[in-house]
């Protein structure tokens, strides 16, 4: 049966120029390169310049994705930006990205699911494209987490970085089988009972301030592998693929130990897991498209590759998307 599938036509990314190493961190808070590498796998992260906004990062990533897709911005009718660090409380950063790309038609809006934002945004875009409501979408994950960190809290400030990534999706008629190109299966979940484990202690509707990120890392860690494994399994069961039939896992990059734990539970080798957190840190909603971009540039994904993206973040929110490139 013929169906519309959301095919990934292009990917792009942008990282701010400024690099902050673990040794740079050790000059600010009581930490060491050894602790950060051993507990997280992170060696450095990028930090946005004072003149760079989340929308600027997102526009740069989206431009690259459009060029690689060979698609003119005027042919895009949906822009979704996953971010927890919008330029302003409103308007949506996606509308600024839409404007920056010279697009005046269709719709643009933000998705707020923190580190799972890109998986949520892909799932939403896929629904619109499958239904025929829109034809071509840009899905951006863009963050400037450096602006919401408490730079005196060594338990969190060493973990995060800034950056953006984007994909261009196009609705294309396919056969309706698991051999199709495009997004094959999605699963998103949330559970607000865990709000106090990972949150920002401010907001326009409560404190009237922006606030700082707060996390009980050990408790978040405890939930991560199990919850992420659950949604990965769901996308695999839906399509009938076994874990080792996936060509590349492109996970949210929070902690190398979480990635290793998931790989072990799936029974797949490290060569199947895309790792960028050593150089990028945790860039929240930007981490998956940044990793996807690196995978593309390293020729680790090509037409026909089965790619599984997954994430978990504040809320809790979590989810997975299985796509054939």
Q: What is the CB-side half-sphere exposure of residue 295 using CA atoms within 13 A?
A: 30
Lookup result for tokens 């050593």: 278
The two structure tokens encoding residue 49:
């310049």
How many CB atoms are located within 10 Å of the residue 192 CB? 8
* Closest alpha carbon to 312 in 213, 221, 228: 228
Provide, rounded to whole angstroms, the least separation between the CB of residue 67 and ligand UT7. Answer: 30
Applying CB under 6 A, the span of 5-13, 68-76, 229-237, 250-258 interacting with ligand UT7 comes to: 250-258
Q: What is the DSSP letter of 282?
A: B
Active site residue 252: yes
Q: Figure out which of the listed residues 91, 106, 211, 217 binds ligand UT7, where binding follows CB under 6 A.
A: 217
CA distance 304 to 7: 11
We find the least distance from the C-beta atom of residue 251 to ligand UT7, in angstroms, to be 11
Shortest distance, CB of residue 156 to ligand UT7, whole angstroms? Answer: 7
Phi/psi at 23 (5° precision): -65, -35
Closest residue to ligand UT7, based on beta-carbon distance: 217
Contact flag: residue 254 with ligand UT7 (CB under 6 A): yes
115 binds ligand UT7 (CB under 6 A): yes
Contact 106/76 with Cβ under 8 angstroms?
A: yes
Number of residues that bind ligand UT7 (CB under 6 A): 21
Candidates 46, 252, 255, 293; catalytic one: 252
Q: Which of 221, 265, 272, 279 binds ligand UT7 (CB under 6 A)?
A: 221
Measure the CA angle with vertex 224, ends 141 and 271; round to 5°: 75
**Shortest Å, Cβ 302 to ligand UT7:** 28
> Toward ligand UT7, which CB reaches closer, 9 or 252?
252
At closest approach, how far in Å is the CB of 75 from ligand UT7? 34
Locus of tokens 């673990």: 22
Which of 4, 6, 85, 282 binds ligand UT7 (CB under 6 A)? It is 282
Q: Are strands 248-251 and 306-313 parallel, antiparallel or unpaired?
A: parallel
Rg for the chain, CA atoms, rounded: 18
Catalytic residue (choose from 22, 46, 115, 255): 115
Query: Quick check: is 157 catalytic?
Result: no
Q: Six-digit token pair at 146? A: 């450096």
| Contact status: 27 vs ligand UT7 (CB under 6 A) | no
127-186 residues near ligand UT7, rule: CB under 6 A: 154-155, 158-159
Single out the residue of 65, 95, 220, 228 in contact with ligand UT7 (rule: CB under 6 A): 220
4 is catalytic: no
Handedness of CA 234, 294, 285, 20 (dihedral sign): positive
DSSP 101: T
Sheet holding 182-190, edge to edge: 182-190, 317-324, 306-313, 248-251
Question: Judged by CB under 6 A, which of 18, 39, 178, 189 binds ligand UT7?
Answer: 39
| Residues involved in catalysis | 115, 252, 282
> Where on the chain is the footprint of ligand UT7 (CB under 6 A)?
31, 35-36, 39-40, 115, 154-155, 158-159, 217-218, 220-221, 224, 254-255, 258, 282, 312-313
């Amino acid at each position: 049966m013929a169906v519309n599938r959301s095919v990934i036509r292009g990917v792009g990314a942008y990282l701010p120029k400024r690099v902050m190493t673990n040794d740079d961190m050790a000059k600010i808070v009581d930490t060491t390169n050894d602790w950060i590498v051993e507990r997280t796998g992170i060696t450095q992260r990028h930090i946005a310049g004072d003149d760079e906004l989340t929308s600027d990062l997102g526009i740069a990533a989206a431009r690259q994705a459009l060029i690689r897709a060979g698609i003119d911005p005027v042919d895009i009718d949906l822009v979704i930006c996953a971010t927890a660090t919008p330029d302003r409380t409103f308007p949506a950063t996606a509308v600024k990205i839409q404007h920056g790309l010279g697009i005046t038609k269709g719709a643009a809006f933000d998705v707020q699911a923190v580190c799972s934002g890109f998986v949520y945004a892909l799932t939403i875009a896929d629904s619109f494209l499958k239904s025929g409501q829109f034809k071509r979408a840009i899905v951006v994950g863009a963050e400037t987490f450096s602006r919401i960190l408490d730079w005196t809290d060594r338990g969190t400030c060493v973990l995060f970085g800034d950056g953006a990534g984007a994909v261009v999706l196009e609705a294309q008629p396919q056969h309706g089988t698991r051999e199709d190109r495009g997004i094959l299966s999605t699963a998103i979940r949330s559970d607000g009972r865990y709000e106090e484990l990972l949150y920002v202690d401010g907001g326009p509707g409560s404190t009237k301030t922006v606030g700082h990120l707060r996390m009980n890392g050990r408790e978040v860690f405890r939930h991560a592998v199990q919850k992420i494994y659950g949604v990965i399994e769901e996308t695999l069961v839906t399509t009938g693929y076994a874990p080792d039939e996936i060509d590349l896992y492109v996970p949210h990059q929070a902690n190398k130990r979480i990635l290793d734990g998931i790989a072990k539970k799936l029974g797949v080798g490290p060569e199947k897991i895309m790792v960028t957190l050593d150089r990028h840190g945790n860039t929240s909603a930007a981490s998956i498209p940044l990793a996807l971009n690196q995978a593309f540039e390293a020729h680790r994904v090509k037409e026909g590759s089965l790619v599984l993206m997954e994430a978990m973040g504040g809320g809790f929110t979590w989810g997975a998307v299985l796509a054939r490139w």
